[in-house]
Amino acid sequence: MAQYTRVSGSVGLITLQNPPVNALSAAVRQGIVNTVQRALSEPEVKSVVICGQKGAFCGGADIKEFGTNMSGPPLVPMIHAIESAVKPVVAAIEGVALGGGLELALGCHYRIAHSKARLGLPEVTLGLLPAAGGTQRLPRLIGVPAALDLITTGRHVTATEALQLGIVDQITDHNTVDVAVKFALSVAGQSLDSRRISSYPCPRHSDFDALFEAAMQKVHQSARGAIAPVACVQAVRAAATLPYSQGMEREKELMATLFTSGQARALQYCFFAQRAVGRWSMSSGARWDTSKPRPVHKAAVIGLGTMGRGIAVALAQAGLSVVAVETQEKQLIEAKQAVTGMLERGAKRRGVTPALDKITYSPNIQNVADVDLIIEAVFEDMALKEKVFKQLSAVCKPGTFLCTNTSGLDINRLASQTCNPELVVGMHFFAPAHVMKLLEVVYGPRSSPHAVATAMHLGKKIGKVSVAVGNCRGFVGNRMLKPYLEQALFLLEEGATPEQVDQALEEFGFAMGVFRMSDLSGLDVGWRVRKADGLVTSDATTGQQARIRQGHRYSPLGDLLCEQGRFGQKTGRGWYQYDKPGSRVAKPDPWLQNFLEEYRARHGLVVRRIDHQEVLERCLYSLINEGFRILEDGIAAGPEDIDVIYMFGYSWPRHRGGPMFYASMVGLARVLERLEYYHQAHPDVPSLHPSTLLRKLVANGSPPIHKWREVIKKLHSQL
């Protein structure tokens, strides 16, 4: 709702009231309509100020109303009525003016912002566009290039940038409402002809065609199949080329297409899923709201290789004191230089002082005795990690949490090396650790709720999206990746090429297909793990048996490449060839083509034509199938957890909503049918065998994704 008061004798003050960010719910919109009418009709009132209660102007539309039959007054005529008012209306912007909130402010005749306010039109991130005149007013106010940037990226700007761009007229460090009221008094009675943005001509540009073509190319490249950024460019083009009223029509049409698209649904699901993962629960029943985190002021990182360096940077940047331990002297010196560089570059970008003094470097593990939490990031070697955990347990003060960054080793085995296994959890970061947003917090059977709460809380503090998951080989992300990678290899055996598989996945929306991604991460990493698992054999047998391991179908293609020293980008050869080691430009390699032909001939494999649909279905449905098994096993509490992990850690295209949401959009019956089909064609491939949960969900009429937890609960109670 909106509260109306008269202040300073002649100013009507309208205060939006809908905590926490005064979103434009039906009640708030109705409140604005009523109070604006009242202010305009009272003869004593000469000018109006609109503000939001409790330091936030307005966070935009109420997302909870999306997908419902929206009641209450629509935004467009409401904002139009404000703009057409004959009394000056001033927006007093504190906290945030986002989405519909900024559109409301753009309908006002003046905008005054607090210096700490943030403004933006983030609709594109929800698969939509600013459809209350935002795409038509903003370019008229600040010009097409700047408006395109804000509308197509959804980025927020500070009040200072908003002033430079011309979005606001004034910024203040004082009480914004007081300043706005004073200002409103000063402009009472003045002509508003030059203050109505919709009447402005759009600032001309020397070559609109070239400008919009470049903008379109840019969004096509970065959007990877998302349609909202494209619609945003089209809407701004309408502002630049059509009269305001026609531009508004175009904005409305484009919005209607977006609103009913699956992409908007997917992106809105992501928005809620990201919040849902904060309300974590463990299979024991312990939960986020009943488990208290312990304070962490000082932390340690053990092992300063690729991951340890990034983790130390992330911790120091968040203000924690860090002891960074590395036993190799040369590595320690190199790590210190690298970490210093990372901190300096990060600080420069953010305009702050680098947190260099937050980190102390040491070759000695004894120096971690007084820290609150330790993150171990030594080589992925169980024996080494066990030794390190034993040492840490002996050295640390009582109550220190011991965390491991292992990519998939057994947390429980590490916990059993310590005197207090309840203090052990996994904190699985993703490379580069100071950049990637995802953190898997892995609890073992003995991890205490306090340990999970502390790791989740620390994750949040250092800016990560943290997801609590159970302990199993590969946890959630890497466990699901395994069948995806395996299917890609089987497809090569059956006749596909790396380029063809990657193209299908990149057209789907991944930043990189599976083979380009493997070349980037290094093929030797998985090879080492497979060797340790006894999957790599040296006997050059041919025929069916050579492709069976531990009773299941296995493709040794990756191992054979590694035996040739082809480790990917770092060696200049992998699934692709590169100009030189370390180069990033992947080119098809005739050597690989010959190698695949010889391999298929040796094993009597008959090549067949494989189309994009088969690539997508085999790779994605096998990954999704594993996701259902993870839910079945209780390793992830719900589908949102899996989807958030895939979006933030594995570059799953957000506009497709994560693998589990994608399955629900495709239709569970369809996913099941295709898995059954491929399973019959390849009965020895384990990951194609449809999971019990998928079958159960289909048998239950394929309930919507938010109802899956109930089916899972029932399934667990039957076990």
The first and second tokens of residue 370, run together, are: 């007084």
The residue among 122 and 526 lying less far from ligand NAI, judged by its C-beta, is 526
Cβ proximity to ligand NAI, 574 vs 657, nearer residue: 574
CB of 306 to ligand NAI, least distance (A): 4
Query: What's phi and psi for 539, nearest 5 deg?
Result: -70, 130
Element (H, E) at 412: helix 411-415
Nearer of residues 303 and 470 to ligand NAI, judged by Cβ: 303
Q: Which of 94, 103, 326, 617 is catalytic?
A: 103
Residue whose tokens read 């919709």: 198
The nearer residue to ligand NAI, 430 or 628, going by C-beta atoms, is 430
Quickly list DSSP for 140-183: HHH-HHHHHHHHHH--EEEHHHHHHHTS-SEEESS-HHHHHHHH
Residue closer to ligand NAI (CB basis): 97 or 377? 377
Is the separation of the CB atoms in 607 and 495 below 8 Å? yes
Asked whether the beta carbons of 240 and 144 are under 8 A apart, the reply is yes
d(CA 554, CA 562): 16
Distances from the Cα of 709 to the Cαs of 268, 557, 597, 642, in angstroms?
19, 39, 47, 13
**103 annotated active-site:** yes
Q: 434 or 553: whose CB is closer to ligand NAI? A: 434
CB of 435 to ligand NAI, least distance (A): 12
**Whose Cβ is closer to ligand NAI: residue 229's or residue 303's?**
303
Q: Which two tokens stand for residue 95?
A: 């906290």
The question of whether 123 is a catalytic residue gets the answer yes
CA–CA gap between residue 330 and residue 489 (Å, rounded): 38
- Two tokens at 182? 């004073």
DSSP 477-536: HHHHHHHHHHHHHHHHHHT--HHHHHHHHHHHT-SS-HHHHHHHH-HHHHHHHHHHTT--
Q: What is the dihedral of CA 275, 279, 282, 286, to 10 degrees?
A: 170
Pick from 622, 615, 625, 492: nearest CA to 556: 492
Residue among 666, 621, 691, 619 at smallest CA distance from 266: 666
Q: What is residue 428's DSSP assignment?
A: E
SS3 for 106?
Answer: helix
Q: Output 178 or 380, the one with its CB closest to ligand NAI.
A: 380
Q: In what order do the strands lie in the sheet with 96-98?
A: 96-98, 118-120, 156-158
Nearer to ligand NAI, 12 or 310 (CB): 310
Binding positions for ligand NAI, rule: CB under 6 A = 302-308, 325-328, 331, 377-380, 384, 388, 405-407, 429-431
Give the span between the Cα atoms of 592 and 577, in whole angstroms.
Answer: 9
Q: Which of 292, 289, 296 is nearest to 314 (CA)?
A: 296
Of 326 and 641, nearer to ligand NAI (C-beta) is: 326
Q: Which is nearer to ligand NAI, 306 or 542 (by Cβ)?
A: 306
CB-nearest residue to ligand NAI:
305
In terms of CB distance, is 110 or 430 closer to ligand NAI? 430
Q: How far is CA 84 from the centre of its chain?
A: 40
- Measured from the CB of residue 478, what is the shortest distance to ligand NAI in angstroms? 9
Q: In this structure, are residues 426 and 415 in contact, taking their beta carbons and an 8 Å threshold?
A: no
Residues facing 359 on adjacent strands: 322
Secondary structure of residue 300 in the 3-state scheme: strand
What is the number of H-type helices and E-type strands within the chain?
28, 19
Query: Closer to ligand NAI at the Cβ: 146 or 378?
Result: 378
Query: Distance of CA 711 to CAs 318, 365, 628, Å?
Result: 40, 48, 12
Please, what is the minimum distance in Å from the beta carbon of residue 178 to ligand NAI? 51
| Other residues' Cβ atoms within 10 Å of the Cβ of residue 602 | 13
The kind and range of the H/E element at 552 are strand 552-553
Could you please report the per-residue DSSP string of 13-57?
EEEE--TTTT-B-HHHHHHHHHHHHHHHH-TT--EEEEEEGGG--
Secondary structure (DSSP) of 345-358: HHHHHHTS---GGG
Catalytic residue among 42, 44, 94, 123, which?
A: 123
CA distance 673 to 659: 17
Going from the C-alpha of 382 to that of each of 401, 413, 456, 482, 666, the distances in angstroms are 19, 9, 24, 20, 40
Query: CA–CA distance from 186 to each of 35, 42, 179 (Å)?
Result: 22, 19, 11
In the complex, what is the shortest distance from the CB of residue 523 to ligand NAI, in angstroms, rounded to a whole number? 13
The DSSP symbol for 69 reads -
Q: Which residues are part of the catalytic machinery?
A: 103, 123
